[in-house]
Amino acid sequence: MAAIAAVAIIAVAAAAVYVAADSDDDGGSGTVTVTDVRGRSVSVPEDVDKIVTLSAGSARLVSYFGQSAVDKIVGIDSYDAKQKAMPANYYKATYRIAYDIESKTDVGSEESTKAIIETGADVIITSMTDVDKANTLQSTTGIAVVCVDADGSIDVNDDRFNEDVTLVGKVLGMEQRASELISGIEKAVAELNAYNASSSASPNCYIGGMFYFMKGGFYETTGNYLPLELVGAENVMPDSNSGNPYQTDKNAVMKAGESSGIDYIFIDAMTASDSKTTYQTDKTDLASTVSAAADGKIYSNLVYKYYGTNWEMELINAYYIGSVIDPTVFDYSVEDKVNEILALFFPDSDIDYSSVCEKQGMTLCQLDW
């Protein structure tokens, strides 16, 4: 039922966003006025040729519009340029596997106004949250600044995600692609809901190995994990940290195992190595109350978050989890489903299941830990 409700919310939210974005043409002056997610009214060129993307989620959202949209990017921040954070983790953000992002011009950050101006960009797309700073960036550079929302609690079936997609589609003049992506997501959610309705499985699960604001490992978890919800699995951890991942500990997991039982453990590929070390150190203790540890029912997931949410992975991981908890109902080729979702989010890219697993360092499988 949750998945059905989510589809309904998506449809209503997307319609509302289109009304906000489809403002009147600005007197034939060659600009279109859009309302961004911060409620700012911004005039952007009718034909956007050059884009600068800044802060988490911005380049990812543009990449969802395909190679022609990525080709318009003339400037990226230092994280997307592979200059900050850990280079070894760079491809944990799926869109960087799908398209060549790192070769784009590194403009630094929102503070680097001179470098941004020198790109000759028509539009700056940024996930910055401070309206005053967005307005200052726009007035200082003379370039339209459009704010998108990359809040860590946004899920792929969230109306805020659809608002982002619709807004970027309007800015790029690619409204049809925005509709295609939203419709494809609705279809996938509906399909998962149909499988779920046919399944009697409702196991208790723990998801670990996540990464959020430079913290990770086996005990980095979340109580708000959409892939579990979409397939009817129960999350044993409480929802905390405004829906974002947070750090728990061995005692809390053992207590959850004792009180409600943990039938399956899923591990995000983001911190697989560290998670394995911690799990093997604590395995004996965990197995005393956690049946999944005692029975070896521990499985991988592909990377959920890195420099924002890999929204496509919410659907991919849901399809995989479903195949684990009830393979007789969730009966399909997982690799085929992964490739379908990747093709939906990254049109005209040659990204596939194999390339993602190679770059992220883990396949979808049972872990022999």
- In this prediction, residue 140 carries a pLDDT of 98
Q: Give domain status of residue 190, yes or no.
A: no
Same domain, 260 and 165: no
Judge whether 294 and 287 are in contact, CB under 8 Å: yes
At 218-248, the pLDDT tens digits run 999 999 999 999 999 999 999 998 888 999 9
At 257-268, the pLDDT tens digits run 999 999 999 999
Cα–Cα dist 267/303, whole Å: 9
How many other CB atoms sit within 10 Å of the CB of residue 87? 10
Alpha helix (H) residue ranges in 224-361: 226-230, 250-259, 272-287, 291-295, 311-325, 334-345, 353-360
Q: Give domain status of residue 367, yes or no.
A: no
Domain span at residue 322 reads 200-360
How many other CB atoms sit within 10 Å of the CB of residue 16? 14
Q: Give domain status of residue 188, yes or no.
A: no
Same domain, 171 and 247: no
Q: Which DSSP category does 233 fall into?
A: P
Same domain, 259 and 320: yes
- In this prediction, residue 15 carries a pLDDT of 38
Write down which residue in 155, 182, 209 finishes a domain. Answer: 182
User: Residue-wise pLDDT tens for the chain (369 aa)?
Assistant: 444 444 444 443 443 333 333 444 444 459 999 999 999 999 999 999 999 999 999 999 999 999 999 999 999 999 999 988 788 899 999 999 999 999 999 999 999 999 999 999 999 999 999 999 999 999 999 999 999 999 999 999 999 999 999 999 999 999 999 999 999 999 999 999 999 999 999 999 999 999 988 789 999 999 999 999 999 999 999 999 888 899 999 999 999 999 999 999 999 999 999 999 999 999 999 999 999 999 999 999 999 999 999 999 999 999 999 999 999 999 999 999 999 999 999 999 999 999 999 999 999 999 999
Three-state DSSP at 26 gives: coil
- In this prediction, residue 29 carries a pLDDT of 54
Q: Give domain status of residue 41, yes or no.
A: yes
Write down which residue in 120, 147, 182 finishes a domain. Answer: 182
Write down which residue in 152, 182, 212 finishes a domain. Answer: 182
Same domain, 107 and 164: yes
Structure tokens at 338: 């992964």
- In this prediction, residue 87 carries a pLDDT of 84
The number of domains in the chain is 2
Same domain, 120 and 163: yes
Structure tokens at 244: 């974002």
Residue burial 25-63, b: 16+ Cβ < 10 Å; e: rest: eeeeeebbbbbbbbeeebebbeebebbbbbbbbbbbbbb
Cα distances (Å, whole numbers) of residue 290 to 206, 223, 261, 276, 321: 10, 17, 6, 16, 18
User: Scanning the structure block, which residue is given the tokens 């397939």?
Assistant: 231
Q: Give domain status of residue 194, yes or no.
A: no
- In this prediction, residue 242 carries a pLDDT of 86
Same domain, 122 and 271: no
Same domain, 111 and 209: no
Same domain, 36 and 157: yes
Same domain, 38 and 171: yes
Structure tokens at 4: 């059905």
Same domain, 281 and 333: yes
Non-local (6+) Cβ contacts of 91 within 8 A are 97, 359, 360
Cα–Cα dist 321/316, whole Å: 9
Structure tokens at 366: 């049972």
pTM, to two decimals = 0.91
CATH number at residue 278: 3.40.50.1980
Non-local (6+) Cβ contacts of 126 within 8 A are 53, 54, 55, 58, 110, 134, 137, 145, 146, 147, 148
- Which of 312, 338, 334 has its CA nearest to residue 323? 334
Q: Give domain status of residue 366, yes or no.
A: no
- Report which secondary-structure segment, H or E, holds 21: helix 2-21
Same domain, 289 and 166: no
Judge whether 136 and 106 are in contact, CB under 8 Å: no
Q: Give domain status of residue 324, yes or no.
A: yes
